[in-house]
Amino acid sequence: VQQSPTADRVAISDLSWTEYRDRIAAGAPVLLPLGSTEQHGPHLPLGTDAFIADQCCRRAAAELGGVTAPPVAFGYASLPRTGGGDMFPGSINLTGTTYIALVHDVLSERGGEAKILCFSVWDVRDVAAVERAHPEFSVLDRELSHASWTETSTALSLFPELVHTDAFPADETADFPPYDVFPQEFDRVPASGAQSPLNHATKEAGDTIVRENVAGIVAAARAEFGI
Ligand SMILES: [Zn+2]
């Protein structure tokens, strides 16, 4: 069977409406990447979360015969404990109600097709698998992953051209209470924006993290959509 010239394209933005219609009619799930525009230290781009979500979804879609929606590239919400909050230029937050309304509207537009999977980037799906493959990870604090070992490794795997390896900040570890404080307090956030040590981040570890995330998306879609 001759493949159509667009058969390997997965982003619905790249498809015409007729191509999209035919993919959906053939049972393609729609993967919706959810990311953010947020500081990720002096060494990673502001779009790190959205890039990771989008690229993991594209790889999963290729395995599933699915398609990916344009990523939601604004998040809720960057706070000192989760990313630095308003302390750093470049982070763009939606309010919670706006975010809910935005995602609700996007999902509602696709509602007739039913097979929709949202993938929100927060790090690593199967931490144990990454720890087995990369024992050095176990010395790090899983809660303090922002702009740190996992995200830097993942960025080195997916978009190394946007990683400033000459701007890696010195190793520091944030010290937060297990709750948020308002008005926001920034004195516990390391000045670089990276929450924990990252200097032994590697592309190989990032490859493992990406593989685990993609496998998780594929497994969830197969289980829930019967594909
Ligand atoms: Zn991030």
DSSP SS3 for 133: helix
Q: Which residues are 53's β-sheet partners? A: none
**What are the tens digits of pLDDT across the range 25-55?**
999 999 999 999 999 999 999 999 999 999 9
**What confidence score (pLDDT) does residue 71 get?**
96
Q: How far is the CA of 8 from the centre of ligand 1 (A)?
A: 28
Residue 121 confidence (pLDDT): 81
Average pLDDT over residues 60-84: 91
pTM recorded for the entire structure: 0.92
Residue 2 has pLDDT above 70, yes or no: no
State residue 123's pLDDT score. 58
Helix H, strand E, coil C: the string for 45-76 is: CCCHHHHHHHHHHHHHHHHHCCEECCCECCEC
Q: What would the mean pLDDT of 196-215 be, rounded to a whole number? A: 92
SS3 for 146-170 is CCCHHHHHHHHHHCHHHCCHHHCCC
Q: 30 CA to middle of ligand 1, Å?
A: 23
- Quick one: pLDDT at residue 4? 62
Quick one: 166 exposed, middle or buried, by C-beta within 10 A (0-12, 13-18, 19+)? exposed
Q: How far apart are CA 151 and CA 145, in angstroms?
A: 7
- Which is more confident, 6 or 82? 82
Mean pLDDT within 72-84: 86
pLDDT at 87: 84
Q: What spacing in Å lies between the alpha carbon of 120 and ligand 1's midpoint?
A: 10
> Ligand 1 centroid vs 48 CA: distance in angstroms?
6
C-alpha of residue 49 to centroid of ligand 1, in Å: 5
* pLDDT tens string 166-179: 999 998 888 888 88
What integer pLDDT is reported at residue 194 of this predicted model? 93
- Asked whether the predicted pLDDT for residue 3 surpasses 60, the reply is no
| Separation CA 174–CA 92 (nearest Å) | 22
Residue 140 has pLDDT above 80, yes or no: no
Q: How far is the CA of 37 from the centre of ligand 1 (A)?
A: 9
**Which of 185, 153, 191, 151 has its CA nearest to residue 171?**
191
